[in-house]
Amino acid sequence: MNITLIKTIPNILKFPAANSARLLHLTAVSNKNQAGRYKNTPRKNFPLTYEMANPPHQIAHRKSWNSWNTSNVEGGNRPSETAVEDQFIRKFVQGTWHALFVSEIIIKRQHNLIRIAGLVHRGVMPRKMYFLIGYTEEFLSFWLQCPIKMELQSVADKRHVVFKYV
């Protein structure tokens, strides 16, 4: 099998262009926009938040950005570092506040202050939440060497953030 394959390759190269089209396999066009879009489920019971309900092309129309900084303005500094750091913050907060964040994590930067905002489910005791706040703020400020502030809004029930079902 392998041997035959190898043998055919030079043949393809030898063939004129019109014939080679028959031998090359092409898949269907797959450059469809799919990221951040949700399909309908059969029972229409998949919950979406407002953020999820609006596909990415609605950013700046119906919803706004999750990261606010000056790195991407004309002549802004550290664009790549900022993107990587924001990703780190998101991963770290998602992991530390396991299953507690019910919205995207919003990161706003002003000068060297980083503010992390979001909706938090009231799933743990307030005391534990304070521990997590202190830990996250201090750890991230060691890592990013900026003062960090958490600005949370607690949500009594996860269903309160559901915008629609698909």
Partner 1 sequence: MFKMNIPGAFLRRSYRLKCTKCLGRSLSTATEEKIEIPARIERGPTDILRALESTITRDITAAHYKYHDDPYLLPMNNLAKRSFAMAQEAGRKAAHWVRSQHPELFNHQECDPPIEAFFPKMVYNENSEVTEEDLKNVIDRAQVSDAILINNLLKAKGLEITNETKQSLLELLCYNNSEDILDEEFIEERWFKQSSGIKDRQRKTWKDASAAEEIFISIDKPTSDSYSAIIQGMAKFNQAARAYQLLEEAQEKGFELNIHAYNSIIKCANFIKENYDLRWSFIVNMLERIKQAGLKPNLGTLNAVLFTLSTMVNSRMVKDFALKTLNEFKSLDIEPSLGSWYYILITFCKDRGPRSAVLKNILNEIENKNHKIQDLSDTHFFVTAMDIAHHHLNDISVGQRLHKLLLFGNNYDLIGDSYKESIYYRHYFSLVLSNVPLQDFMESMYNKLVPNIYVPEPSVMREVIKQIELNALIEYIPRIWSDIIVFNQHNREDLLNLILSVMVDNKPKQDTELVEKFANIGWDIYETIDGQNQERYSNLQFTGDLLGKIMIVLLRNDNFEKACTVMNKLDHQHQSIVGVPCFEALSLFVDHCIKNKAPSRAIECIQYASDSGFPDIITLGAKLNEQLTLDEKHLNRLSKFVDLKLS
Partner 2 sequence: MMNLSRNIERVPFRSIEKQLVASYCNSSPQTQTKQEEFRALNIRNVKDPFQTRRRLQKTAVFPPRADQMPVDQDWGSVWPGPRSFHPATVPLPVRQGFTEKGAPPPNKFNNAELMKIPNFLHLTPPVIKRQCEALKKFCTPWPKALDNEDKIQKNFPIEVISSDYCYSSPTIRDPMARIITVKFKLASLKLDDRARDKFLRLVGPRYNEENDTVTIVTDRCPLKKQNYDYAMYLVTALFHESKKVEPWEEMKSEADMEIYCWENNASKKNIEALFGCKSEEIPNAAEYSEAVSHYMNEGENDYTISKYGEAVKKLLKLQGTN
Chain residues that interact with partner 2, rule: CB under 8 A: 49-51, 54, 58, 61-66, 68-71, 75-78, 81-82, 103-104, 106, 108-112, 115, 117-119, 122-123, 125-126, 144-146, 151, 153-156, 160-161, 163
User: Is the CB of 5 or the CB of 74 nearer to partner 2?
Assistant: 74
Residues in the chain: 166
Residues contributing to the site for partner 1 (CB under 8 A): 68-70, 73, 76, 81, 108-113, 122, 126-139, 141-146, 150, 152-154
Who contacts 15 (Cβ-Cβ below 8 Å, separation ≥6)?
A: 23
Nearest approach, Cβ of 95 to partner 2 (angstroms)? 20
User: What tokens does 48 get?
Assistant: 């979406």
Q: Could you give the CA distance from residue 102 to residue 133 in angstroms, rounded to a whole number?
A: 16
Question: In this structure, are residues 84 and 111 in contact, taking their beta carbons and an 8 Å threshold?
Answer: no
Nearest approach, Cβ of 151 to partner 2 (angstroms)? 4
Residue 118 binds which entry of partner 1, partner 2, none, CB below 5-8 Å type-dependent: partner 2
Strand duo 106-110 + 47-49: pairing: unpaired
User: Is the CB of 54 or the CB of 96 nearer to partner 2?
Assistant: 54
User: Is the CB of 52 or the CB of 119 nearer to partner 1?
Assistant: 119
User: Residue 4 — left, alpha, or beta (φ > 0 → left; ψ -120 to 50 → alpha)?
Assistant: alpha
